[in-house]
Amino acid sequence: MDLNGYTLSEQLGSTARFSEGFGFTRLEKKNPLYLTISVPSYSNAEDRRWLLQLTSQLVKISEQSGGFSKLHIQSDDSFHVFERIRSQVLDVSFPYPKEKIPQFPIRNWEQLLQSIPGNETKEDHILLLVSFSNEWPDRFEIPEFAKRIREKGLKLIVLSPSSLEANKLVSYANGDFYPISKQESFESLFMDLKETVSPDWEIKYISPWQLSVWKENEVMGSFTSVSTGVQFEFLYQITPYQTLYLKVSDPFVFFPVSLFFILLCIASLYYLRGFESPNPSHAKQKTLTPISNVENLERQDELEVYDRMYGETLEKAARDREIALVTKEKENLPGTSYTYAVIQVREGNQLYEPIPLQWSEMTIGNFESNHIVLHDPSVSGLHAKIKNRKGKFILFDCVSEAGVYLNGRKLLRPKVLHNLDEIQLGKTFLTFRGRY
């Protein structure tokens, strides 16, 4: 394309101005073409060979563009559709069904149209109809059929003898018509399809108008060939919302602004991490827990574990805190006291040596820092822990992803272990054994 042979002008209102310079850029990516081809059946070997050759060339254009094709054989009695047909199979061995000439072609094509999903993209989806008939008895259905084609977002191409019905369908559906009896029709058809799949051109230029970014502007452009007189017109509109969108979508604006808001959110969460809205009932619940008892806890994060795992409301969280303190400090816990206890670990078919529970608190998980390390990928880093309270061993779930199961039931509250209790963490089983 010779840039010297073109002029570009823009018209705003009744005044037109020429752009001082512009440039072409050819995009590398082709436009994918998706074809749905409907062809009639054949009456002799010559028709069959001609239809296969036509269909093969159409499908090949779609394949070269990166799209795919669907082939439909017209019939009033059966519905023959070949999904994602390839050009290699369209040869003399192709199982071409032989059917009678359809008496109601519009109804036959409507059935095909129902099987095509609507096109909601900017890609080219073409419905190509081939017919040998001069008249369509169901021509009264043409307006409704054309309306459905437009609603599906399909482009229509009709290849048939010149008739009033064909011209009316193409006119209603805003499609293209190619007379089947003229040889130049096929040359035009393939040329237009190849032009459709060819890479697009992009024109870049500076507008001769000093347009306000906060005022709506509607500009009519014209791209004209001086030598041939071919003119391409376009219309674009600039609005304040569009200007704001273009500014925000600019990477030099979007990323700094996004980073600022992320830092702002992190700072807000940091300063508000300990904030709790005043609630009289919650304040009343908090009086149930003496401050001295909270200060005597060996691990302050135990209350946080209860809040994250069991606390759905402030009132429930307060009750859970009270349960934790009672579980820790109550002298007469329900259950049996043992003077010596061990944990037997079983991973699959492998049974390990018993591990004595000799500390007041022993953690279990996938981290090497735990007292009992389980090499099971389904076990969390800190999965569970067992506390010794005056000879009674209490099992806790440390907010694990897979949960803790005691005797086949999920652990929802800390529970005192009994002899031969079975604990499941991920895919690993642990058996608790206690001795009086």
pLDDT above 70: percentage of residues in the chain? 85
Considering the domain boundaries, does residue 277 fall inside one? no
* Amino acid found at 318: A
* Amino acid found at 37: I
CA distance 409 to 397: 13
Look at strands 384-389 and 361-365 and give their pairing: antiparallel
Assign residue 424 the CATH number of its domain. 2.60.200.20
Q: Are residues 177 and 217 in the same domain?
A: no
Q: Are residues 192 and 97 in the same domain?
A: yes
Look at strands 124-130 and 155-160 and give their pairing: parallel
Considering the domain boundaries, does residue 184 fall inside one? yes
- Provide the domain count of the chain: 3
- What would the DSSP string read from start to end of 282-341? HHHHHTTS-HHHHHT-S-THHHHHHHHHH-SSHHHHHHHHHHHHHHHH-SS-SS---SEE
Residue 208 neighbours by CB under 8 Å, 6+ apart: 10, 17, 18, 19, 20
Kindly tell me if the per-residue pLDDT of 128 is higher than 70. Answer: yes
Considering the domain boundaries, does residue 403 fall inside one? yes
Q: Are residues 249 and 367 in the same domain?
A: no
Residue 406, CA distances (Å) to 119, 135, 411, 412 in order = 55, 79, 6, 10
Per-residue pLDDT, 296: 46
Which candidate, 114, 125, 116, 130, places its Cα nearest to that of 166?
130
| Average pLDDT rounded to a whole number, residues 331-350 | 83
Q: Say how many C-beta atoms besides its own lie within 10 A of residue 175's C-beta.
A: 21
Tell me if 421 sits within 8 A of 431, measured CB to CB.
yes
Tell me if 225 sits within 8 A of 5, measured CB to CB.
yes
Per-residue pLDDT, 36: 94
Q: Are residues 148 and 247 in the same domain?
A: no
Q: Are residues 67 and 144 in the same domain?
A: yes
Least confident among 29-33, 44-48, 321-325, 388-392? 321-325
Beta partners for residue 142, in sequence order:
none
Q: Are residues 249 and 121 in the same domain?
A: no
Considering the domain boundaries, does residue 268 fall inside one? no
Kindly tell me if the per-residue pLDDT of 362 is higher than 90. Answer: yes
Q: Say how many C-beta atoms besides its own lie within 10 A of residue 170's C-beta.
A: 20
CA distance 132 to 33: 25
Residue 209 is part of which domain span?
1-26+201-253
Q: Are residues 176 and 88 in the same domain?
A: yes
- Identify the residue with better confidence: 158 or 24: 158
- In the block, which residue shows the tokens 């309270």? 389
Using one digit for the tens of pLDDT, what is the confidence trace for 313-332? 455 556 666 666 665 555 56
Residue 230, CA distances (Å) to 134, 198, 201, 243 in order = 35, 20, 16, 32
Considering the domain boundaries, does residue 281 fall inside one? no
Considering the domain boundaries, does residue 400 fall inside one? yes
In this structure, what token pair is assigned to residue 151? 């609603």
Q: Are residues 120 and 247 in the same domain?
A: no
- Identify the residue with better confidence: 212 or 209: 209
Q: Are residues 222 and 359 in the same domain?
A: no
Per-residue pLDDT, 176: 93
- Element (DSSP H or E) covering residue 87: none
Q: Are residues 183 and 146 in the same domain?
A: yes
| Average pLDDT rounded to a whole number, residues 405-414 | 91
- Element (DSSP H or E) covering residue 97: none
